[in-house]
Structure 1
Amino acid sequence: MSASRLATAVLLLLCSLSQAREVLRFAIDAHNPPFMYVDSQGVAQGLYAQTLRQLGERAGLTLRIEAIPWKRALAYLEQGSHGVAGIYRNEERQRKYLFSKPIYREELVVYARKGHAMAAYSGIASLYGKRVGVLSGWFYSDAFSRARDEKRLLADEAARDAQNVDKLRLGRLDYLIGIRESIAALNQGELEEAGILASNLTYIALPDSPRSRALLLQLNPHIADLPDKARAP
């Protein structure tokens, strides 16, 4: 083999090894158990961390999963440095990012203090003029976003569900919105469901790039093979 061909072969081998060692970075929320959270050792845990690990293993990819505040996760997605798991899809996000097949479905419930519900939730107008506990950086529904932007309701932000639950218990909120499984772990019988705000599919979102499109081609075929608890019904 000539020296030039040998050099080319070595270069191709090095490129191949470099790609094989590529670490793909993903972010999840650090404060949303049981779906996504960080444990006492600083390790990302929960349904979406498990889903990412299973997909990475099945697709032969090396993933680095970071559990961080949700606003920071969204900022990293915006910057193009990370993918994000457990995210809802809306029109604005669809214009900017690429989305996997759905990986789960979350049901967003409106909660009130037990015996203190002003009225059952019957549509977004039920929340007009009310103080509603939400999580910082979260999208809930298009109707909720419009009502919030038009200041028809007061969205009171917190970093985690436990803070909203405490504020509702103390009467500092009229309602809070949370995922049923997340609030169930915090509810000691003082909260009751006032209605369902939305039922949202969750996805993996990636920066819009040729590399991300290729990555989705690797990940999507394995989503259908995930265990039932890690797939959208």
Structure 2
Amino acid sequence: MTATRLATAVLLLLSSLSQAREVLRFAIDAHNPPFMYADDQGVAQGLYAQTLRELGQRAGLTLRIEAIPWKRALAYLERGSHGVAGLYRNEERQRRYLFSRPIYREELVVYARKGQALAPYRGIASLYGKRVGVLSGWFYSDDFSRARDQRRLLADEAARDAQNVDKLRLGRLDYLIGIRESIAALNHGELEETGIFASNLTYIALPHDQRSQALLQQLNAHIPDLSDKPRAP
């Protein structure tokens, strides 16, 4: 082993030992069941909390997982104090953060009130001129972001899916975009699918710094190939 490679290995080992002793902080959304949420005692639960716990155990890391409002989770990631699980990736975020291997695939669906869909969803132009319920702080797609910024559609933000479902039931929205599993728990037959909006991979994101580079290597070593996982139904 060359002196350079030996020095690198020693640094990674020291970093690993340091991280094993410290508590690493991660944030997830408190209001996005079944993927991530806070239970009645405020404890982080859901698919992404469980994924983080399993990865921490396999990698020998001590993680503190906090379920908080999504915008605050993103602010903590930007500040560099927390990692975040369940984040979609886009070009801007790739410049700002480090991303793990993908951990899940979420299928986003466009919903309308049953029997009152204005038209099937056949692309972003289907939403032009419509009131569309979305979650605050979420990225949906580049096309959606452009349409919102150009005011081709009205993106009506809410902190949680239940609020958007209620607004759609009351006729205050034309459509909402939500993950099928999340909306299924809230839909009692009043809503119908009008089309698939997107199928997005989700990731663990870390602050873009040298300390996070070593942590990312440790996490990635224990994240299975997504092709081995079943797709979202």
Same fold (TM over 0.5): yes
Q: Is the 8 A contact 2:130 2:175 kept in 1?
A: yes
Task: Name 1:46's counterpart in structure 2.
Answer: 46
* 1:101-148 deviation per Cα after TM superposition (whole angstroms, max 9, x unaligned): 000000000000000000000000000000000000000011100000
* 1:165-184 deviation per Cα after TM superposition (whole angstroms, max 9, x unaligned): 00000000000000000000
Q: What residue ranges of structure 1 are gaps of 5+ in the alignment?
A: 1-14
Identity of matched residues, %: 88
Once residues 176 and 16 of structure 1 are traced to their aligned partners in structure 2, the CA distance between those partners, rounded to angstroms, is 44
Once residues 167 and 111 of structure 1 are traced to their aligned partners in structure 2, the CA distance between those partners, rounded to angstroms, is 12
Find the residue that maps to 1:138 and give its secondary structure: coil
Shift of residue 20, structure 1, vs aligned partner: 3.3
**Alpha carbons of structure 1 residues 19 and 203: separation in structure 2 relative to 1, 3 Å:** closer
Task: Name 1:161's counterpart in structure 2.
Answer: 161
Task: Name 2:88's counterpart in structure 1.
Answer: 88
Task: Name 2:223's counterpart in structure 1.
Answer: 223
Q: Which has the larger radius of gyration?
A: 1
Q: Within 5 Å, which residues of 2 pair with 1:183-222?
A: 183-222=183-222
Q: Is the 8 A contact 1:82 1:207 kept in 2?
A: yes
Which residue identity is paired with 1:32?
N
Q: Is the 8 A contact 2:106 2:179 kept in 1?
A: yes
Which residue identity is paired with 2:137?
G
Once residues 130 and 111 of structure 2 are traced to their aligned partners in structure 1, the CA distance between those partners, rounded to angstroms, is 13
Q: What residue ranges of structure 2 are gaps of 5+ in the alignment?
A: 1-14
Once residues 194 and 229 of structure 1 are traced to their aligned partners in structure 2, the CA distance between those partners, rounded to angstroms, is 26
Q: Give the TM-score normalised by the residue count of structure 1.
A: 0.90
Find the residue that maps to 2:222 and give its secondary structure: helix
Find the residue that maps to 2:198 and give its secondary structure: strand
Shift of residue 206, structure 1, vs aligned partner: 0.3
Once residues 61 and 16 of structure 1 are traced to their aligned partners in structure 2, the CA distance between those partners, rounded to angstroms, is 8
Q: Is the 8 A contact 1:129 1:153 kept in 2?
A: yes
Pair 1:75-2:113 in alignment: no
Once residues 68 and 231 of structure 1 are traced to their aligned partners in structure 2, the CA distance between those partners, rounded to angstroms, is 27
Find the residue that maps to 1:197 and give its secondary structure: strand
> Post-superposition, which runs of at least 4 consecutive aligned residues in structure 1 deviate over 6 A?
228-233
Task: Name 1:58's counterpart in structure 2.
Answer: 58
Once residues 232 and 114 of structure 2 are traced to their aligned partners in structure 1, the CA distance between those partners, rounded to angstroms, is 31
Once residues 43 and 36 of structure 2 are traced to their aligned partners in structure 1, the CA distance between those partners, rounded to angstroms, is 11
**Alpha carbons of structure 1 residues 17 and 177: separation in structure 2 relative to 1, 3 Å:** closer
Which residue identity is paired with 1:129?
G
**Alpha carbons of structure 1 residues 222 and 161: separation in structure 2 relative to 1, 3 Å:** same
Across the aligned residues of Structure 1 and Structure 2, the Cα RMSD in angstroms comes to 2.1
Which residue identity is paired with 1:88?
Y
Task: Name 2:20's counterpart in structure 1.
Answer: 20
Find the residue that maps to 2:78 and give its secondary structure: helix
Shift of residue 229, structure 1, vs aligned partner: 6.2
Once residues 86 and 30 of structure 2 are traced to their aligned partners in structure 1, the CA distance between those partners, rounded to angstroms, is 12
* 1:77-121 deviation per Cα after TM superposition (whole angstroms, max 9, x unaligned): 000000000000000000000000000000000000000000000
Q: Is the 8 A contact 2:107 2:232 kept in 1?
A: no
Once residues 205 and 230 of structure 2 are traced to their aligned partners in structure 1, the CA distance between those partners, rounded to angstroms, is 16
Q: Is the 8 A contact 1:223 1:231 kept in 2?
A: no
Aligned residues between the structures: 219
Pair 1:97-2:93 in alignment: no
Shift of residue 24, structure 1, vs aligned partner: 0.5
**Alpha carbons of structure 1 residues 102 and 231: separation in structure 2 relative to 1, 3 Å:** farther
Which residue identity is paired with 1:46?
G
Find the residue that maps to 2:196 and give its secondary structure: strand
Q: Is the 8 A contact 1:25 1:63 kept in 2?
A: yes
**Alpha carbons of structure 1 residues 207 and 46: separation in structure 2 relative to 1, 3 Å:** same
Shift of residue 215, structure 1, vs aligned partner: 0.4
